[in-house]
């Protein structure tokens, strides 16, 4: 019984702490999570469908994209970099395990994992014996601006 009451006490204490850190209603929290995950989904979709030029639309004026040793700041620089992607390159992103941490009404951190395959342009199918081109983790900071 002591173990159970300690665990219950910890659960009650943690529940109170979670409420203090996230003062938003369940509906507000769900909307924030969905909007942040949707941004990542759009990113993968734009790359998968050969519309890398649209990736820049997801970034605010001071937004940054970082991959490997490259760091791009602002939508114009991001657009230039992604415009150089071959138009015939098609991929399939599998993105999962989204963990959204709501920092404030205007900032949320999203961590997720991805697997990236290259496909045949005509069919969009990955041959069965192909291995992923890249496997990794996305770390996104989603910022809500007055404009959206």
Please indicate, yes or no, if residue 81 is contained in any of the structural domains.
no
d(CA 121, CA 93): 15
Question: Which pLDDT belongs to residue 3?
Answer: 38
Output 36 or 49, whichever has higher pLDDT: 36
Q: Could you list the residue range(s) of the whole structural domain that residue 139 is in?
A: 25-50+88-143
Average pLDDT for residues 84-97, to the nearest whole number? 85
Q: Measuring CA to CA, which residue among 125, 117, 100 is closest to residue 32?
A: 100
Q: Does residue 39 lie within any of the structural domains? A: yes
Give domain status of residue 13, yes or no: no
For the entire predicted model, the pTM comes to 0.76
Report pLDDT for 139. 94
Q: Is residue 84 very low, low, confident or very high in pLDDT (cuts 50, 70, 90)?
A: confident
pLDDT > 80? residue 61: yes
97 Ramachandran zone, left/alpha/beta (phi>0; psi -120 to 50): left
Q: How many domains does the chain have?
A: 1
Q: What pLDDT does 21 receive?
A: 58
Tell me which residue of 34, 45, 42 sits closest to 102, measured CA to CA.
Answer: 34
């Amino acid at each position: 019984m002591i173990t159970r009451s300690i665990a219950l006490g910890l659960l009650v204490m943690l529940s109170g702490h979670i409420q203090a850190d996230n003062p938003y209603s369940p509906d507000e929290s769900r909307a924030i999570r969905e909007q942040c995950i949707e941004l990542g989904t759009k990113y993968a979709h734009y790359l998968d469908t050969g519309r890398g030029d649209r990736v820049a639309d997801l970034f605010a004026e001071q937004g940054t994209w970082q991959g490997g040793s490259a760091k791009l700041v602002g939508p114009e620089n991001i657009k230039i970099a992604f415009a150089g992607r071959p138009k015939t390159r098609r991929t399939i992103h599998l993105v999962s395990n989204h963990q959204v941490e709501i920092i404030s009404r205007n900032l949320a951190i999203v961590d997720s994992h991805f697997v990236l395959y290259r496909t045949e342009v005509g069919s969009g199918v990955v041959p069965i014996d192909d291995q992923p081109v890249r496997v990794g983790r996305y770390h996104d900071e989603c910022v809500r601006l007055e404009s959206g």
